[in-house]
């Protein structure tokens, strides 16, 4: 998605630790008109897959999931991190390793919201080493539902998580894939 | 909003501790078509206020904020809880008391995303004692921006937070106000 690459080049900031800060439009602050265009593109990519539900992870995945849901006319479910008072014990749970924070955290989703006959599209804002998607895949597999694939806004291709999942047969659609990132230098994978 | 009251009566569950569980359509699982109708109603209520930005708080406020933003054509900013690696030190910060969890947590938003000349609409899914809105008000006041008001989906009127804010002059629009809640019994405030 050319418009996303241009937006990253224009508004993204590279912070120490290979962190790409896109808080001006993709998280913290959300350029909602642009986000709904991203959602439209995700809907286009998966239009033939009979998706019944979008699964994401709190909190930065929720906005892009809502944008895709608007165009796909399906519900969104978000996996919660850690424990919550408002959840019953009736959950699928998994563990995600955060490389950013170097710690594990639990993710959970109520069993009520993923049924075995569903066709699930996973959506997130970022894909780096793939930890969050691995957690979501685990949750969906526990439910017996079908994973049709994943859609993410920005993939850090050089961290390998997306390609590893593709090798295992998952359809992973990233609207911008960064293959190299250095000081004020971002190289996108041609798509 | 009659449709929201009906949805609460149909799908809401009352859990011990006066917790209203609406995870089947408002958070955890989001009925996205219905949520965009909620957003449309928020846009209608504040259409004459020249809102420049919607401010919410992660994570359950993000979906309703996106739904309102779709109809209002403004960006969303969400305040983050606690500390984050991807944020710079350049933040407005405040403290919120969670009555659900009986603890304080920090909320913060980058100074870049709320400027003094903006007209801010605060949006959240729930309003009970008003702790989250108090935190957001404090953040906006630090920026010098104008608060046009707040829009929430469900207000627990009997907890008093909404009315206390109204008495202080804030415009608080709640699409459903629950004045009494007991075992399988929910009484809405006429609006």
Return the pLDDT at A130.
95
Q: What is the pLDDT of residues B125-171, one digit of tens each?
A: 999 999 999 999 999 999 999 999 999 999 999 999 999 999 999 99
% of chain B beyond a pLDDT of 90 = 81
| Residues A76, B58: C-beta atoms closer than 8 Å | no
Predicted pLDDT at B101: 75
Tell me if B74 sits within 8 A of B53, measured CB to CB. Answer: yes
Residues 9-48 of A with CB under 8 A from B: 15, 17, 19, 21, 23-24, 27-33, 35-36
Closest residue to A59, CB basis, from B21, B33, B58: B58
> What is d(CA B92, CA B109) in angstroms, rounded to the nearest whole number?
5
**Residue of B17, B70, B110 lying closest to A36 (CB–CB):** B70
What pLDDT does residue A97 have? 84
Please tell me the predicted confidence (pLDDT) of residue B1: 96
Q: What is the ipTM metric for this complex? A: 0.94
Work out the mean pLDDT of chain B and round it to a whole number.
93
Mark yes or no for CB contact A86/B23 under 8 Å. Answer: yes
As a whole number, mean pLDDT of residues A128-145 equals 97
Asked if pLDDT for residue B84 goes beyond 70, the answer is no
Q: Which one of A18, A30, A98 would you mutate to disrupt binding with B, by most B Cβ within 10 Å of its Cβ?
A: A30
Task: Work out the percent of chain B whose per-residue pLDDT is above 70.
Answer: 97
Contact B117, B140 (CB under 8 A): no
Question: What phi and psi values does residue B188 have, to the nearest 5 degrees?
Answer: -90, 150
Structure tokens given for A54: 């979008």
Question: Going by C-beta distance under 8 Å and a sequence separation of 6 or more, which residues neighbour residue A29?
Answer: A23, B75, B76, B77, B110, B112, B113
Residue B66's closest chain A neighbor by CA? A63
Q: Which of residues 41-60 of B touch A (CB under 8 A)?
A: 58-59
Q: Which two tokens stand for residue A173?
A: 């659609």
Name which of A27, A69, A100 is nearest B32 (Cβ-Cβ): A69
d(C-alpha B38, C-alpha B46), whole Å? 13
d(CA A169, CA A175): 19
Q: How many CB pairs under 8 A join A and B?
A: 118
* Angle in degrees, CA A80, A129, B78, rounded to 5: 40
A66: three-class secondary structure by DSSP: helix
pLDDT more than 70, % of chain A: 97
Mean predicted lDDT score pLDDT of chain A: 93
Instruction: Pick the range with the lowest mean pLDDT from A50-64, A81-95, A108-122, B36-50.
Output: A81-95
Sign of CA dihedral B31, A88, B20, B67: negative
């Amino acid at each position: 998605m050319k418009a996303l690459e241009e937006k990253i080049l224009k508004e993204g900031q590279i912070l120490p630790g290979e962190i790409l800060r896109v808080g001006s439009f993709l998280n913290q602050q959300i350029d909602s008109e642009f986000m709904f265009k991203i959602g439209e593109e995700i809907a286009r990519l998966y239009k033939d897959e009979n998706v019944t539900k979008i699964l994401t992870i709190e909190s930065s995945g929720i906005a892009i999931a809502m944008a895709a849901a608007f165009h796909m006319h399906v519900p969104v479910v978000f996996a919660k991190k850690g424990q919550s008072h408002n959840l019953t014990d009736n959950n699928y749970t998994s563990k995600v390793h955060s490389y950013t924070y170097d710690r594990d955290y639990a993710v959970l989703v109520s069993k009520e919201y993923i049924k075995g006959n569903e066709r699930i599209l996973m959506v997130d804002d970022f894909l780096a080493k793939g930890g969050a998607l691995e957690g979501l895949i685990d949750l969906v597999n526990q439910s017996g539902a079908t994973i049709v694939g994943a859609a993410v806004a920005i993939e850090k291709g050089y961290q390998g998580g997306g390609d590893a999942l593709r090798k295992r047969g998952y359809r992973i659609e990233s609207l911008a894939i960064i293959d190299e990132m250095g000081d004020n230098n971002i190289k996108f994978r041609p798509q």
